[in-house]
Amino acid sequence: MRSKVTVILIFLNVVLFYYIFHYEGAFFRDKATLETRKKVYGPEVATIESITRTSRTGPALKIERRGESWWIAQPHDWPANRNAIDRILNELQFLEHETSFTVEELIKSGRTLAEYGLENPAFTLTFVSAGKSYVTKIGDNTEIANRLYLLSPDGTRIHVVSRSLADSIGLPIESLRSESVFTIPVFEVRSLNIQTTALKVRLQRDANARWGFEAPIHTRASKAKVEMTINALNALTAKSFPDIALSDLERTGLNVPSLRITLEGNLRRETLLLGAIVPPKTNPASPTAREGTATDLEYFAKFEDKTDVFTVPISTALIEDLRSAQEKLRDTHVLDFDPHNVTALTLSAPGETSLTLQQLVAGTPPWQSVIRLPGQAPLTSPSDTAVVEELLQQLHLLSKTEFLSDAPSSMQLETWGFNRPDREITLTLSSGGGLKGTEGSSITLQIGVGADKGVAFARVPPAPFVYQIVPDILEASPVLARHYRQRLLRTLPEGAKIQGLSLTQLEGEAPIYVKQLNETQTTWDLVVSDESEARRKAIGVMLIQLHTLRAKRFTADSFNPDHADTPQGPRPWKYRLDIISSFAGGSGTAAKSTSTLFLTERLGGNTQIAGTAEFGGPVFEIPQELVDALFTLIYREKNDPGLPATSASPPANNTLAKPTAPTVDALQKP
């Protein structure tokens, strides 16, 4: 029984498959054939090599494929607009007729090709595919439905097709031309050559994408400026193609071009010749007015390997950059190095002992100052990493204000102060020029000053180039170890606390402000609770500044108890600030110590000098926050008649009234 059922099922499947193949398959095959028959062209349109368009009125136009790109070959040689060409190719590949009839049927009906505009067609389209030519004639519009008559390439059938074909192939040449003059994009350009009637400039890009001059001098170029110039060249567009014979190039100035610009890319190069300025067109309403913008001039131009002459508008700024490329495209930075690769720098000045700033371990901070005196061991002191790195950054960004000379004479070098430079800075690099994979090297910068002290001059031997710079770098690089000294003088260890402050005027030993923690007032919040808000803020700032004492900058190498050495000369000490600190001991007891700072009066809005015999005996400017806090205690409230009466006991809640900042004790905590 099972065998019979199986046989029946197999038989039914065979019948079903036969029906599908014979009847339904025929339907799909007929449908595919119908769709194929609706296509005007066959597979030949997939391999088109060139397209030629002629019309009843206009000149012939020929477009051909060259490698991966399309070019207009007639009426002039120019890159084609790829989008417009793709539109034509797509139109040909997918062109379908609404209906069609044979030429034989047309003749039998007593009609002629001329009645359909196919005797003298509006357009004749000839394309070459696989070496074979296919000619299509496009005639008049249909009387209804806005269609076109088209005669097939074999001349046997007339198709009624959409007008989109005529719209595509009938585009004006301006739409079929590529807008850009140059076709090599900036990322592909390997070299830029600019030749004027007097000078030839060549710039080359290396493997690290850095640009440099190869002629007429060897030096660095500005990557940003060079690539902006190339982008500006790529943005140039042809405005018109005047009919000028090669024999008439003298009128255009192209027989002796004023500029020759060459872009070299991957196995290709393009050289543009610029001639004379196109004579201005006048506006009839204003005979002296010239068309166009005030910053653009139109030049006659042509490519070196082509005959077609065209005009191109170019901004005066771009022309200036091209004519003065040796200066305009140059890297304005005096030095070329990576600050992170500097392991040491040596500073020298006339009459000064050379100073070396070097890393304790090459490649990583901290830094130290080293002074080497004849017959003595080197004198070393810790340097402030932030100060050294700021100097390196200033050297890295040091730029010219003007290029003075690429080949100075000995008299010029003497005039610019290089016979005895005001500063000589030698950078020792962990890798050559700051580039990876190169051996260590050094760079020496010389800075001279001439008669005009408002400007300075720089050069980097052995290169001969001399730059004019602003003299600020001299002030930023003094040959003084104290300038680079570690700004952090002391910081109290964890668990230490400031127990008392005493500010005294030295003349007459008059106390100005004295406060100290005691058994009843064990916190600074309690000690200053009866103070005004301004004083509470000032004490809070002082506790922070004195807990971690920093110098803004140093004014002398050693402390003198009689006076402070300042850039303006000696100044007497006027105040003494005693700081009592407690340190937690191992047995739970607290050891106390007193540090003393001597202070001058306030010398300006942001300057006050301090000195101490401790911490190596520095004399230094104190930070602005400490200057302002001292001012509050010394001046502001000393003359304020409206001070509230002090209270012998603190407020009941033992807190500051209306606190505007963290509590004073909290500010002390590291």
State pLDDT tens for residues 25-49.
544 444 444 444 678 888 888 889 9
Q: Which residues contact 443 (CB under 8 A, 6 or more apart)?
A: 335, 336, 337, 426, 427, 429, 433, 460
Nearest Cα to 214, choosing from 225, 205, 222, 223?
205
Question: Domains of the chain: which residue ranges?
Answer: 43-176, 191-328, 339-484, 488-641+650-668
Amino acid 641: pLDDT: 43
Amino acid 37: pLDDT: 66
DSSP-derived secondary structure for 77-145 = -EEB-HHHHHHHHHHHHT-BEEEEEEHHHHHHTT--GGGGT-SS-SEEEEEEETTEEEEEEEEEEPSST
Judged against a pLDDT cut of 60, whether residue 657 lies above it is answered with no
Judged against a pLDDT cut of 80, whether residue 302 lies above it is answered with yes
Judged against a pLDDT cut of 90, whether residue 21 lies above it is answered with no
**End-to-end Cα, the chain, rounded Å:** 98
% of the chain surpassing 70 pLDDT? 86
Q: Which residues contact 493 (CB under 8 A, 6 or more apart)?
A: 583
| 126-135, 461-470, 658-667: range with lowest mean pLDDT | 658-667
Residues 542-568 have pLDDT tens digits of 999 999 999 999 999 889 999 998 888
Q: How is residue 153 written in tokens?
A: 């390439």
CA distance 66 to 466: 49
CA distance 389 to 594: 34
Query: Hey, is 403 helix, strand or coil?
Result: strand
Number of helices followed by number of strands (H, E) in the chain:
17, 39
Judged against a pLDDT cut of 50, whether residue 648 lies above it is answered with no
Buried b (16+ CB within 10 A) or exposed e, 490-510: eebeeebbbbbbbbbeeeeee
% of the chain surpassing 90 pLDDT? 45
| Phi and psi torsions of 260, nearest 5° | -125, 115
Q: What is the mean pLDDT of the chain?
A: 84
Q: How is residue 85 written in tokens?
A: 């060409």
Average confidence (pLDDT) over 578-603: 83
Judged against a pLDDT cut of 50, whether residue 117 lies above it is answered with yes
| 110-124, 277-291, 312-326, 480-494: range with lowest mean pLDDT | 277-291
Judged against a pLDDT cut of 70, whether residue 440 lies above it is answered with no
Amino acid 615: pLDDT: 86
CA distance 299 to 314: 7
Residues 477-536 have pLDDT tens digits of 999 999 999 999 999 988 889 999 999 999 887 889 999 988 888 888 888 888 889 999
Amino acid 23: pLDDT: 60
Amino acid 438: pLDDT: 43
**Angle at 41 (CA atoms; ends 39, 42), nearest 5 degrees:** 95
CA distance 294 to 288: 13
Give 37 or 158, the one with higher predicted confidence: 158
Amino acid 36: pLDDT: 45
Strands 575-584 and 590-599: antiparallel
The answer to whether 149 and 112 have CB atoms below 8 angstroms apart is no
The answer to whether 3 and 11 have CB atoms below 8 angstroms apart is no
Nearest Cα to 549, choosing from 632, 628, 621, 635?
621
Give 57 or 592, the one with higher predicted confidence: 592
Give 118 or 7, the one with higher predicted confidence: 118
pLDDT band at 246 (very low <50, low <70, confident <90, very high): low
Give 68 or 595, the one with higher predicted confidence: 595
Query: Hey, is 557 helix, strand or coil?
Result: coil
CA distance 97 to 148: 10
The answer to whether 158 and 101 have CB atoms below 8 angstroms apart is yes
The answer to whether 255 and 197 have CB atoms below 8 angstroms apart is no
How far is the CA of 240 from the CAs of 26, 134, 308, in angstroms?
Answer: 58, 32, 11
Nearest Cα to 314, choosing from 300, 302, 296?
296
Average confidence (pLDDT) over 320-346: 93
Query: Hey, is 546 helix, strand or coil?
Result: helix
Q: How is residue 42 written in tokens?
A: 């066959």
Amino acid 346: pLDDT: 95
Give 635 or 156, the one with higher predicted confidence: 156
User: Whole-prediction pTM value?
Assistant: 0.72
Nearest Cα to 444, choosing from 371, 363, 346?
346
The answer to whether 319 and 276 have CB atoms below 8 angstroms apart is no
CA distance 36 to 578: 104
Nearest Cα to 218, choosing from 333, 334, 330?
330
Report the amino acid identity of residue 173.
I
Which CATH number applies to 339-484?
2.60.40
**Angle at 167 (CA atoms; ends 165, 171), nearest 5 degrees:** 120
Where is 524: in which H helix or E strand?
A: helix 524-527
Nearest Cα to 466, choosing from 427, 410, 395, 391?
410
Number of Cβ within 10 Å of residue 190's Cβ equals 14
